[in-house]
Amino acid sequence: MPLPRDCRALLDEVSAHNARALGRAITLAEEGGDRAGELLCALEEIPLPEAATIGLTGTGGAGKSTLAARLIDHFRASSRRVGLIAVDPSSPLSGGAVLGDRVRMMRHACDKHVAIRSMASRGRLGGLSAATASSARLMKLFGCDPVIIETVGVGQAEFDIVRLADLTALVLAPGLGDDIQAMKAGLIEMADLLVINKGDLPGAEALRRDLEPIARDRGRALLKVSARDGMGIDDMTATLDALFCQASQSGALADKRRRASDAETLDWALELLRHRLEPIVGAQGKALRDKDPRVRAQMAIQDCFLSL
């Protein structure tokens, strides 16, 4: 895919709210390689708006996608441009996103002030692909505030979003055993906001009572909402804005973003090594294929570094 003139020209188009340019830029970031490096280096030279990145995480069935769509409705009502990155499971054949949240959010598809991108997790257990953070920055350049990142519902492994997002909302729902799973996973300690979705269903109040002492002991906000009918969405967005303002003023936001930069650096390092390791593993002969996979992996890593 040829770049229009150069990377900086493409980024200028993104900052001018050109949706097609945003799509091309995110595609480059996802593809990786030299062109992605050139684009992201050019992006570093441009001051970005002070916009929030909000993570939505939780197990499947908690209603994260419906809640994300409702949040978009609320922010758009305040004339805010919104970005959504929906990180879906990867196709085992193509590597692309399987679920495709853009299909589930068609009512926003024609809104030029909403940028929605489905991304494949590429098999990452943490629920995020290596290009997610770069795509969020590109959406901020596009003028999105906030950028919402909805992760794959993979339960205990969803920790990457907590590291990369400015604020993380853990979405729970009655009847799914989310309270037990979340406590085991430690996500309650790491999330900034606990959200009980489907708050109009039986069991929601009992779940709130169970989580209230846990949230209080850990200093976490706890809200009950219903994404289906909009109950509690105003409170949720007000809480998110307040938490972001508080973190910004206290310096906690700057500290978290520094840690997020380290995490993103490691993500890109692993992604770049994966591309180098795949052909080495594929080229291993029959004799090596009889060895234990861990031994093969060590040999592949050794060969990879010798070739650098």
pLDDT recorded at residue 104: 53
pLDDT recorded at residue 126: 43
Q: Are residues 12 and 103 in the same domain?
A: no
pTM tops 0.75, yes or no: yes
Number of domains in the chain: 3
Cα–Cα distance measured from residue 42 to residue 133, given in angstroms and rounded to the nearest whole number: 15
* Domain end call among 214, 230, 250: 250
Q: Are residues 18 and 109 in the same domain?
A: no
Q: Are residues 61 and 127 in the same domain?
A: yes
Q: What share of the chain is helix, strand, coil (3-state, %, to 5)?
A: 55, 15, 30
pLDDT tens column, 214-273: 888 888 899 999 999 999 999 999 999 999 999 999 999 999 999 888 877 887 788 778
Q: Are residues 80 and 180 in the same domain?
A: yes
pLDDT band at 177 (very low <50, low <70, confident <90, very high): low
CA 59 to chain centre: 14
Judging by beta carbons within 10 Å of its beta carbon (0-12, 13-18, 19+), is residue 303 exposed, middle or buried?
A: middle
Q: Are residues 207 and 277 in the same domain?
A: no
Q: Are residues 302 and 194 in the same domain?
A: no
Q: Are residues 120 and 234 in the same domain?
A: yes
Residue type for position 56: L
pLDDT, averaged across the chain: 82
Q: Are residues 88 and 204 in the same domain?
A: yes
Q: Are residues 213 and 276 in the same domain?
A: no
Range of the domain at 244: 48-250
